[in-house]
Amino acid sequence: MPKMNLSHFEAAILFALFSSIVLGVITKRTDAERLRYGLRCFAYFVAALIGLGWLMHLGHG
Amino acid sequence: MATDQNKASAPPVRSWAPVIGLSWLIPGGGHFLLKRTGRGTLVLVSVLSMFLLGLMMRGAMFQPQTGDILTTIIYVGGFLGDLASGLLYLLTTWLGYSQPDMAGHVHDYGTKFLVAAGLLNILAMEDAYEIAIGKKD
């Protein structure tokens, strides 16, 4: 098994992507709703990731 | 009285037990059994990708440990999360994967990816269960 080195950002984006796909698939009733919910989840993940990243950056001074 | 009504309305075990079992063993397997191939494929690809990424980042598998409450929650919870990946977890441990818990963000992400793959599979199992008992289409 090859070893993989990812940055924090890359790993968190991949985590957000796969989690959003599953959350979209299992929650809503129609395919259009699932797609919208999955995209919204992914957007929230990325927004939280960037927001928390900036918070930590500013917190460190 | 209320318990009798609950028992009477409870779905038969035969309708959902194979679905839950297959969902646990093979991520998305319950959806395949219920002819939801598109959703099953998305679950399989997502859980499998997260699990393989966790292995490639050399994440550690949790071993159940008890002690103080925080230790118990983290290690037993983490072990259950790993175990929820089903055949992926069983094959990996049977093939001798044993990674020590090391410092470094890549290993740490790997450990979390392995647990998250199992947790996503639990969500997929619950979805397959609801489809099997007719609560969802």
Q: pLDDT by residue (tens digit) across B101-111?
A: 788 889 999 99
- CA distance to partner chain B, nearest, from residue A53 (Å): 15
pLDDT band for position A28 (cuts 50, 70, 90) = confident
What's this model's pTM, rounded to 2 decimal places?
Answer: 0.89
- Inform me whether the C-beta atom of residue B99 falls under 8 Å from chain A C-beta atoms: no
Q: Where are the domains of chain B?
A: 16-132
> What percent of chain B is modeled with pLDDT above 90?
75
The pLDDT of residue B7 = 57
Q: At what angle do helices A8-27 and B105-132 cross, to 10 degrees?
A: 0
DSSP conformation letters of B1-47: -HHHHHHHHSPPHHHHHHHHHHHHHSTTHHHHHTT-HHHHHHHHHHH
Distance, C-alpha B15 to centroid of its chain: 20
Q: pLDDT by residue (tens digit) across B85-133?
A: 999 999 999 999 988 878 888 999 999 999 999 999 999 999 999 999 9
- ipTM of this complex: 0.89
Do residues B88 and B61 lie in contact, with contact meaning Cβ atoms separated by under 8 Å?
no
> What percent of chain B is modeled with pLDDT above 70?
94
- At residue A36, does pLDDT exceed 80? yes
Residue A17, CB half-sphere, CA atoms under 13 Å: how many? 11
A26 with B124: Cβ contact below 8 A: yes
- CA distance to partner chain A, nearest, from residue B39 (Å): 6
- Inform me whether the C-beta atom of residue B112 falls under 8 Å from chain A C-beta atoms: yes
Task: Find the Cα–Cα–Cα–Cα dihedral B20, B26, B28, B30, rounded to 10°.
Answer: -30
Q: pLDDT by residue (tens digit) across B57-75?
A: 999 999 999 889 999 999 9
**A45 vs A11: CA distance, rounded Å:** 12
